[in-house]
Chains A and B, each alone.
Chain A
Amino acid sequence: MSALLSIERVKARYGPVEALRGVSLHVDEGEIVALIGANGAGKSTLLMTICGDPRAAEGRVVYAGRDITGAALHEMVDLGIAQSPEGRRIFPRMSVLENLQMGAFKGDPANFQGDLDRIFALFPRLAERRSQRAGTMSGGEQQMLAIGRALMSRPRLLLLDEPSLGLAPLLVAQIFATIREINRERGVTVLLVEQNAYHALRLAHRGYVLVNGEIRMSGEGQKLLDDPDIRKAYLAGGHG
């Protein structure tokens, strides 16, 4: 397997703060990779830096063999990169359907109906609420919408920022099952940022631990789960 995405010694600033201090990681084609770490460790910044905002001050982002460090935010979809970002960022004054249409903004209109049906099969809740204003939905529904919207662009690489944030435990399990399904059945490569380390590491093939803008540890998901330090730092209080 070859690396679909590799991040090489990337440094990035977010305002005056140096959020990433030389991060290197790679994601192979077909993998699910989890990036775990505490609040403020730089996880979300890393996902945005992959997309070019904030741009890496040093280091390189290489995707499918191509250096995309200087690429513009709006070029990501054409490259096959989709993101469900921090805070979901659904368009609150658009309907659910319009949000999904925005997800397919650069897509072939001929694929639209089929893709939409598949998203609705994945998240039946969205089908029920297709004409509702997205801003009036619950947090869990907005989360589904953000993931569905990202999938509408038929990504090769899906970047997910805290898909379990604010969801009821039952929904968390459902969302993670969905991510596995997307990865297995459609071959979408996933880089997942999570505070919910237990679920994330059980789902992922491999994981990285980010501490204060640096990768502290990496390895297979199960191996990281068994690591006593990780258990103490991220899994205290049971199964997240």
Chain B
Amino acid sequence: MTDVYAVSAAPHIKQRISVPSVMWQVVLALTPALLASIYFFGTKSLWLTLYGIISAVITEAVIQKIRKIPITVTDGSAVVTGMLVAFNINVSAPWWIPVVGSVFAIAIGKQIFGGLGFNIFNPALLARAFLVASWPTIMTSGWTPTRLGSISGLNSSIIPSTAIKAQNLITSATPLNVAQQLRDKVFTSGFADNLAESQAIANTIFDKLADFGTIQNLFWGNVGGVIGEVSAAALLIGAAFLAYRHIIEWRIPISYIGTVFVLTYFFGGINGLFSASILLPVFHIFAGGLILGAFFMATDMVTSPVTKKGRIYFGVGCGILTVVIRMVGGYPEGVSYSILLMNIAVPLIDRYTIPKPFGEKRIKK
């Protein structure tokens, strides 16, 4: 008898891909956004992100040690979570904010459910929700201007310098914050002495939001906001890389962003239905965390549907919720809550979107 060789089931060749390679590529894809943040906000962005990453990794290792299971922190998934936690934090936040956030994300968001692959919610977004609820002032105000001096992306010369209240708004609030405040008729009525003039100032600001100049600021990153969302351009570079590597797939981001586009065009204006300019939806896409959320958080593999049709429903759902929160909710931004809410629906979506196998349906005789 000749040698006996080991056998195994087919297939006998495999694509060179693994969980670590997926995760580290996501880290790589998030790096341009981090660099953009360092450029616009300074090195504090880097430090906060590092605190987030390090605490995420340590938390994961400690919990895995306690659970007596293999320690898998080198697979990069905790790094991604820590990075995304920090990306959701205002650059003016103290050092312990990303630390607390990352510990929460890994311990409560991920390991409590059984670790990678079993969590229901996107851990980073769950941590953000926790931080916003616990330290609302730190998380939603005190925005740092970019190195070019902008927070809202608007130029203060667009309205009279005498309109103090309006000036305050556009020099201290993020673009979405401005957009939200302008919907508040009681608030805007204080812009000037009489109502007509106030409304005129509000309209001017609102028009300028959906102006090409503002959108350029949003696109490149010359606006205030959380660490990761600052530069849409940098995020899109990373997203393009992930799409090219087949790590994210078009269905969720495109249906998400498409829904936001359509709905903000219909409902986005401050003077009733269809009063928005065509650039307003573009403003809504690049303002706030939509690009970060649509390409890097909603697409989180573990917490999004596996079926193709399901991913579209998921994206559309996220889009609707985002617009509802931005238009009628109490928060200026709705990306994180919309994704978290849709995360809950994922098992249900999967269940109702199981595809039909290839082939004609057999006709029953």
**Binding partners A and B:** no
